[in-house]
Structure 1
């Protein structure tokens, strides 16, 4: 069991999971167990997280649209979409569940990405929209370092396991696929403006891969402003998770979170077939970033 927990939930080491099992905070099928217990199909693991203090978040969100089938919201730039790692109560999922009941994410964005998120209010609608996911036009606004070209269609692959101090960091490359597990990726970029060594870029996703925009921009040589992993110094992330960031780190980042905003969603309503277009205005922190440069 400890091996499974350490590989699946990496916010604790194997030894830490063993200690939690020994303390009785991990139960298997409703009972205390040994960390060496071999898991079988159908086993249920429960983790008592009652004594864990979750980091503070910005719980702000605006409901852009809702009916009996779907919900569209615009969230803050410091709010996880769904429970993961140390976050459970301080998530958009919990906030919306308290307001609407059961909900199902159609798309998700990073904790530090602000803007539009689409949800379904039933498993059937969620499944229908998942199948039609390629028909959802998703556009983001990003602020990057450097002078970005007028347009760029980045077609290639995303790979894991790059030579990096940050284990989950990905890399985008173009050309022939090098690894069997590398994922095809396509992002259409368009320059919106430039200001003081920074560029404002629109990114339209043709595929939806983890860290797609952030990793692609970094690999193209235009790192996202404020990005602790894909920005100008990835070691900032290592200090961030240890709560050891310096004033120099904050100065280099220029903004407290990654300057990425989910700005537009366009799709057909899964039931009525009506064309829907939602837009979310750039948040204040990104406006201030641009005004200060």
Structure 2
């Protein structure tokens, strides 16, 4: 007899709330017959095999940790960091320590509780393997102002450098489409025809070396994996991208990339309390310079 997927999981895990079950499904932790589940209300048959991966709980309050961070700018309201590649921004399943939040709480103890205890001060994020500029609020008023600015995309300009396989047929362009979760692999993002959110990337080639290009990406929106998905759609996936890239081409490079060559090199934004227009720049890290210098 057919049954809703979420109700079936509720029977397996009676202590789980409906919102937690929906969260597990949306995050790609539930599969039916080996394929990622699409909807909480999907019908399943008696002989369907449902697998649920339950991630370990995240500690409610992150602990301060003495981790070196590169401070680009700091005042009483904000702190701007040049995030190293490989560092997770905030604690999450599989990454309970060693995150930027843990480091920030040690650097600035008063940060605790700003905008919530789990992600204090965090108003935007970078992928674990993406390096570069990230701004953090040190007060609640700065948090509120920055969150509003990032949500509206007004007065905020984020520019990235990406080293990508191949060469675009044009020297610049604009990619505008809808982006959402991949219909099968829920841990990936994809360009979708319905159900997604607007994603806009303006790009231009700023350098070309042999079989790859250096592309400057100015994003008007901040969707998860936006640049990585858009560069792959352009036919020039980011070098070292294990999710959307081309591993066969990566292996032919010297050095072989250990992470995606994507760097948030510039952020322009108005100061949350003074209104001053500010610009912050972080040079690419050494592993990325190895490709830029060839």
TM range (shorter): 0.7 to 0.9
Number of equivalences: 238
Rounded Cα–Cα distance in structure 2 between residues aligned with 1:249 and 1:150? 22
Rounded Cα–Cα distance in structure 2 between residues aligned with 1:204 and 1:16? 36
The alignment status of 1:140 with 2:142, answered yes or no, reads no
Give the TM-score normalised by the residue count of structure 1: 0.73
Residues 154 and 117 of structure 1: is their aligned pair in 2 closer, same or farther, counting only changes over 3 Å? same
Rounded Cα–Cα distance in structure 2 between residues aligned with 1:169 and 1:11? 9
Report the Cα offset of residue 158 of structure 1. 0.9
Rounded Cα–Cα distance in structure 2 between residues aligned with 1:150 and 1:250? 23
The alignment status of 1:77 with 2:95, answered yes or no, reads no
Rounded Cα–Cα distance in structure 2 between residues aligned with 1:170 and 1:154? 15
Number of the residue aligned with 1:153: 174
State whether residues 205 and 214 of structure 2, in contact with CA within 8 Å, keep that contact through their aligned partners in structure 1: yes
The alignment status of 1:167 with 2:181, answered yes or no, reads no
> Which 5+ residue runs of structure 2 have no aligned equivalent?
1-14, 31-50, 61-66, 112-119
Report the Cα offset of residue 98 of structure 1. 0.9
Rounded Cα–Cα distance in structure 1 between residues aligned with 2:250 and 2:21? 31
State whether residues 59 and 96 of structure 2, in contact with CA within 8 Å, keep that contact through their aligned partners in structure 1: no
Rounded Cα–Cα distance in structure 2 between residues aligned with 1:267 and 1:126? 14
Residues 152 and 74 of structure 1: is their aligned pair in 2 closer, same or farther, counting only changes over 3 Å? same
The alignment status of 1:121 with 2:141, answered yes or no, reads no
Number of the residue aligned with 1:251: 251
Q: Describe how 1:208-223 pairs up with structure 2 within 5 A.
A: 208-223=222-237
Rounded Cα–Cα distance in structure 1 between residues aligned with 2:198 and 2:52? 36
Report the Cα offset of residue 289 of structure 1. 2.7
Q: What is the SS of the residue equivalent to 1:104?
A: coil
Rounded Cα–Cα distance in structure 2 between residues aligned with 1:146 and 1:11? 31
In structure 1, which of residues 273, 279, 287 is the aligned counterpart of residue 289 of structure 2?
287
Report the Cα offset of residue 194 of structure 1. 0.3
Give the TM-score normalised by the residue count of structure 2: 0.73
Deviations 1:86-106 (A, max 9, x none): 102110011011111214112
Number of the residue aligned with 2:105: 97
Report the Cα offset of residue 168 of structure 1. 1.6
Report the Cα offset of residue 145 of structure 1. 0.5
State whether residues 28 and 186 of structure 2, in contact with CA within 8 Å, keep that contact through their aligned partners in structure 1: no
Report the Cα offset of residue 7 of structure 1. 5.1
State whether residues 2 and 17 of structure 1, in contact with CA within 8 Å, keep that contact through their aligned partners in structure 2: no
Residues 225 and 250 of structure 1: is their aligned pair in 2 closer, same or farther, counting only changes over 3 Å? closer
State whether residues 187 and 204 of structure 1, in contact with CA within 8 Å, keep that contact through their aligned partners in structure 2: yes
State whether residues 116 and 265 of structure 1, in contact with CA within 8 Å, keep that contact through their aligned partners in structure 2: yes
In structure 2, which of residues 125, 130, 143 is the aligned counterpart of residue 108 of structure 1?
125
Number of the residue aligned with 1:244: none
> Which 5+ residue runs of structure 1 have no aligned equivalent?
21-25, 27-44, 48-58, 234-247
Number of the residue aligned with 1:29: none
